[in-house]
């Protein structure tokens, strides 16, 4: 009896420690993600995989948790979204079909090549952001012409496919696309990214991926709390510190996400 009691106590302590660790990882990764516009999967998804969850279930769990991140970030920046309704509608209308396609065909895609492509893109974005000191620091209002819409919606559709099939980096791509196409500053671009990609794209992707198998509810609840808290706190820091902080974090997260994805790609090709 005593042995059984001690075993249960040790096991409970271990479980409590693991739960706290997962919450902490979720909070930290989503705080940085809320500042940079993406990259939560850099830490959060590997943590889920290390806990023994199969890839597709871990990806679905991560995406559901990232919906909470999008909610946390969007609540803090809700006022700034009102001026970009037209752009937000384009992201949802043209990007969502891509997400559905990506989530539907993920089982048939070669993960290592997706990681390779997205990893290279992320590193290029980091270098580009570093070499362009003024990038995303100021916002300019421009007239959205038809030709500009066309240059935006095609990449958004392709990024949507990537979002449905891989874990990390697509929010960063959307953020930089908004800055380059519509001359937004980082704060505006990140706010739009989290409202569209964080909430809607990830919710749709999670729905399709969750049909593959049951999700670990106990971990999911912890991740949702951690993601929401991290998203709100990160958005709060962004408001306080402004575009310079966001740009620095964006560049660092871009590089780390790219490096992580390249390593995954190389390891899977061995």
pLDDT tens sequence across 117-176: 778 878 888 888 888 888 787 777 766 667 777 889 999 999 998 888 776 678 888 998
The CA distance from 170 to 166, in Å, is 8
Work out the pLDDT band at 215, boundaries 50, 70, 90.
confident
Tell me 212's DSSP state.
T
10-39 pLDDT per residue, tens: 344 457 777 788 888 889 888 888 887 777
The CA distance from 175 to 190, in Å, is 6
Which residue is listed with tokens 């003024």? 134
Tell me 135's DSSP state.
T
68-119 pLDDT per residue, tens: 888 887 887 777 777 888 899 999 999 999 988 887 877 676 667 777 777 8
Residue 184 backbone class (left: φ over 0; alpha: ψ -120 to 50; beta: rest): beta
pLDDT computed for residue 250 by the predictor:
84
Where is pLDDT greater, at 256 or 212?
A: 256
pLDDT computed for residue 93 by the predictor:
93
């Amino acid at each position: 009896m005593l042995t059984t009691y001690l075993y249960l106590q040790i096991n409970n302590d271990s479980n409590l420690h693991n739960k706290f660790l997962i919450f902490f990882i979720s909070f930290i990764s989503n705080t940085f993600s809320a500042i940079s516009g993406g990259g939560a999967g850099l830490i959060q998804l590997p943590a889920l995989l290390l806990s023994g969850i199969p890839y597709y279930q871990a990806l679905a769990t991560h995406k559901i948790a990232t919906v909470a991140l999008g909610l946390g970030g969007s609540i803090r920046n809700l006022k700034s979204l009102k001026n970009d309704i037209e752009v937000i509608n384009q992201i949802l209308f043209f990007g969502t079909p891509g997400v559905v396609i990506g989530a539907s065909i993920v089982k048939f895609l070669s993960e290592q090549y997706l990681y390779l492509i997205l990893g290279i893109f992320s590193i290029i974005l980091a270098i580009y952001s570093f070499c362009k000191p003024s990038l995303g620091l100021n916002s300019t209002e421009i007239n959205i012409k038809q030709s500009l819409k066309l240059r935006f919606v095609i990449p958004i559709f392709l990024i949507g496919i990537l979002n449905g099939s891989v874990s990390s980096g697509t929010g960063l791509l959307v953020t930089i696309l908004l800055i380059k196409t519509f001359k937004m500053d980082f704060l505006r671009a990140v706010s739009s990214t989290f409202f569209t990609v964080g909430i809607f794209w990830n919710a749709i992707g999670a729905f399709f991926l969750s049909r593959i198998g049951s999700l670990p509810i106990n971990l999911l609840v912890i991740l949702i709390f951690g993601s929401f808290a991290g998203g709100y706190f990160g958005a709060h820091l962004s408001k306080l510190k402004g575009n310079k902080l966001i740009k620095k974090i964006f560049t660092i997260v871009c590089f780390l996400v790219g490096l992580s994805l390249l390593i995954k790609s190389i390891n899977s090709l061995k």
